[in-house]
Chain A
Amino acid sequence: MPRYTFKEFKSDQEVRWCPGCGDHGVLAALQRALPDVTEALGYSKERYVIVSGIGCSSRLPYYMNTYGFHSIHGRATAISTGIKVANPDLTVWQACGDGDALAIGGNHFIHAIRRNVDMNLILFNNQIYGLTKGQYSPTSKFGAVTKTSPYGTVEHPFNPGSLVLGAKGTFFARSLDSELKLSSEIMLAAAKHDGCSVMEMLTNCVIFNDGAHKLIADREVRADRTIVLRHGEKMIFGKNKDKGLVLDGMGLRVVTIGENGVTEDDILVHDAHSENVGIHMMLADMKYPDFPVALGIIRDVSLPTYDDGVRDQVNEQKEKSGIKCVDDLLRSGATWEVK
Chain B
Amino acid sequence: MQHKVIDTKDVVIRFAGDSGDGMQLTGSLFADMSAIFGNELSTFPDYPAEIRAPHGTVSGVSGFQVHIGSCHVATPGDFCDMLVAMNPAALKANAQWLKRTAMVLIDSDTFDEEGLKRAGLKSDPIGELYIEDRTIIIAPITTLTEESLKDSGFDKKTVHKCKNMFTLGMACYIYNRPMEYVFKYLERKFGKKHPELIEPNKKVLKDGYNYAANIQAIPNTYNIEPAHQPKGLYRNITGNQATAWGLLAASEKSGLPLFCGSYPITPATGILEELALHKSLGAKTLQAEDEIAGICTAIGAAFSGSLAVTTTSGPGLSLKSEALGLAVMTELPLVVVDVQRAGPSTGIPTKTEQTDLNQALYGRNGECPMVVMAAHSPAGCFDSAFNAAKIALEHMTPVLLLTEGFLGNGSEPWLIPSMKDYPKIVPPFVQPNTPYKPFERDPETFVRKWAVPGMAGCEHRVGGLEKNHEGVLSSDPLNHAMMVREREMKIEKVADFIPGLEVNGPESGKLLVVGWGGTFGHLLSAVQEVRNSGTSVSFAHFDYIMPLPKNTEEVFSRFERILVCELNSGHFVNWLRGKLPQFSYRQFNKVQGQPFLVQEIVAAINDNML
Q: Tell me, in angstroms, the Cα distance from A244 to B329 when the chains sit together.
A: 53
A85 adjacent to B459 (CB under 8 Å): no
B306 at the interface (CB under 8 A from A): yes
Contacts of B416 in A (CB 8 A): 330-331, 335
Contacts of A62 in B (CB 8 A): 461, 473
Contacts of A212 in B (CB 8 A): none
Q: Tell me, in angstroms, the Cα distance from A339 to B233 when the chains sit together.
A: 9
A44 adjacent to B233 (CB under 8 Å): no
Most chain B CB within a 10 A radius of its CB, from A48, A67, A84: A67
Q: How far is the CB of B257 from chain A (nearest CB, A)?
A: 7
Given contacts A314-B279, A326-B419, A336-B233, whether A79 and B297 have CB atoms under 8 Å apart is yes
Q: Which B residues between 208 and 234 are near A, CB-CB below 8 angstroms?
A: 229-234
B286 adjacent to A87 (CB under 8 Å): no
Q: How far is the CB of B250 from chain A (nearest CB, A)?
A: 9
B279 adjacent to A327 (CB under 8 Å): no
B464 adjacent to A71 (CB under 8 Å): yes
Q: Tell me, in angstroms, the Cα distance from A108 to B290 when the chains sit together.
A: 8
B293 adjacent to A78 (CB under 8 Å): yes
B171 at the interface (CB under 8 A from A): no
A86 adjacent to B293 (CB under 8 Å): no
B300 adjacent to A318 (CB under 8 Å): no
Given contacts A108-B289, A330-B245, whether A89 and B236 have CB atoms under 8 Å apart is no
Q: Tell me, in angstroms, the Cα distance from A317 to B275 when the chains sit together.
A: 13
Q: Tell me, in angstroms, the Cα distance from A81 to B292 when the chains sit together.
A: 13
B281 adjacent to A69 (CB under 8 Å): no
Given contacts A82-B296, A87-B306, whether A69 and B463 have CB atoms under 8 Å apart is yes
Contacts of A311 in B (CB 8 A): 284
Contacts of A80 in B (CB 8 A): 300
B32-40, B531-539, B567-575 - the one binding chain A? B32-40
B293 adjacent to A107 (CB under 8 Å): yes
B450 at the interface (CB under 8 A from A): no
Contacts of A325 in B (CB 8 A): 252, 281, 419
B301 adjacent to A85 (CB under 8 Å): yes
Q: Tell me, in angstroms, the Cα distance from A71 to B299 when the chains sit together.
A: 10
A107 adjacent to B472 (CB under 8 Å): no
B326 adjacent to A71 (CB under 8 Å): yes
Given contacts A69-B303, A323-B280, A329-B245, whether A46 and B455 have CB atoms under 8 Å apart is yes
Q: Tell me, in angstroms, the Cα distance from A320 to B277 when the chains sit together.
A: 13
Most chain A CB within a 10 A radius of its CB, from B261, B322, B459: B459
Q: Tell me, in angstroms, the Cα distance from A54 to B325 when the chains sit together.
A: 15
Q: Tell me, in angstroms, the Cα distance from A314 to B306 when the chains sit together.
A: 14
Interface string of B264-279 (1 = CB under 8 A from A): 0000000000000011
Q: Which of A69, A75, A82 contacts B308 (CB 8 A)?
A: A82
Contacts of A44 in B (CB 8 A): 456
B280 adjacent to A318 (CB under 8 Å): yes
A85 adjacent to B259 (CB under 8 Å): yes
Q: How far is the CB of B424 from chain A (nearest CB, A)?
A: 13
Q: Tell me, in angstroms, the Cα distance from A209 to B201 when the chains sit together.
A: 72
B286 adjacent to A85 (CB under 8 Å): yes
Q: How far is the CB of B593 from chain A (nearest CB, A)?
A: 31
A83 at the interface (CB under 8 A from B): yes
B368 at the interface (CB under 8 A from A): no
A329 adjacent to B473 (CB under 8 Å): no
A79 adjacent to B299 (CB under 8 Å): yes
Q: Is the interface of B mostly helix, strand, loop or mixed?
A: mixed
Q: Which B residues between 343 and 391 are near A, CB-CB below 8 angstroms?
A: none
B296 adjacent to A78 (CB under 8 Å): yes
A32 at the interface (CB under 8 A from B): no
Most chain B CB within a 10 A radius of its CB, from A47, A316, A321, A336: A336
Contacts of A79 in B (CB 8 A): 296-297, 299-300, 303
B248 at the interface (CB under 8 A from A): yes
Given contacts A46-B454, A335-B233, A335-B235, whether A78 and B297 have CB atoms under 8 Å apart is yes
A313 at the interface (CB under 8 A from B): yes
Contacts of B418 in A (CB 8 A): 327
A24 at the interface (CB under 8 A from B): no
Contacts of A70 in B (CB 8 A): 461-465
A251 at the interface (CB under 8 A from B): no
B460 adjacent to A68 (CB under 8 Å): yes
B300 adjacent to A82 (CB under 8 Å): yes
A72 at the interface (CB under 8 A from B): yes
Q: Which of A83, A85, A329 contacts B303 (CB 8 A)?
A: A83
Most chain B CB within a 10 A radius of its CB, from A66, A75, A82, A311: A82
Q: Which of B282, B299, B300, B322 contacts A314 (CB 8 A)?
A: B282
Q: How far is the CB of A70 from chain B (nearest CB, A)?
A: 3
Contacts of B419 in A (CB 8 A): 325-327, 330
B457 at the interface (CB under 8 A from A): yes
A193 at the interface (CB under 8 A from B): no
Q: How far is the CB of A116 from chain B (nearest CB, A)?
A: 14
Given contacts A13-B472, A70-B464, whether A310 and B286 have CB atoms under 8 Å apart is yes
Contacts of B235 in A (CB 8 A): 330, 333-336
Most chain B CB within a 10 A radius of its CB, from A49, A51, A329: A329
Most chain B CB within a 10 A radius of its CB, from A62, A85, A89: A85
B323 at the interface (CB under 8 A from A): yes
A334 adjacent to B453 (CB under 8 Å): no
Interface string of B463-477 (1 = CB under 8 A from A): 111000000110000
Q: Which of A13, A84, A321, A337 contacts B234 (CB 8 A)?
A: A337
Q: Which B residues between 517 and 574 are near A, CB-CB below 8 angstroms?
A: none
Q: Which of A48, A86, A323, A337 contacts B233 (CB 8 A)?
A: A337
B288 at the interface (CB under 8 A from A): yes
Q: Which of B229, B280, B305, B464 contacts A324 (CB 8 A)?
A: B280
B425 at the interface (CB under 8 A from A): no
Q: Tell me, in angstroms, the Cα distance from A78 to B310 when the chains sit together.
A: 13
Contacts of B396 in A (CB 8 A): none
B36 adjacent to A334 (CB under 8 Å): yes
Contacts of B38 in A (CB 8 A): 336, 338
B259 adjacent to A46 (CB under 8 Å): no
A90 at the interface (CB under 8 A from B): yes
A111 at the interface (CB under 8 A from B): yes
Interface string of A55-74 (1 = CB under 8 A from B): 00000011001111111100
Beyond the given pairs A79-B296, A86-B284, 15 more chain A to chain B contacts, judged by CB atoms under 8 angstroms and listed by A's residue number, are A44-B456, A46-B454, A49-B453, A71-B326, A78-B288, A81-B293, A81-B300, A87-B301, A87-B304, A310-B284, A314-B282, A317-B280, A333-B235, A335-B233, A339-B231
Q: List 19 A-B contacts (CB under 8 A).
A: A46-B456, A46-B457, A62-B473, A69-B303, A69-B462, A71-B296, A71-B326, A72-B323, A78-B288, A78-B300, A83-B303, A111-B293, A313-B279, A320-B280, A325-B281, A330-B245, A333-B235, A336-B35, A336-B36
**Nearest 5 Cβ contacts at the A-B interface:** A82-B300, A70-B463, A321-B280, A82-B297, A78-B296
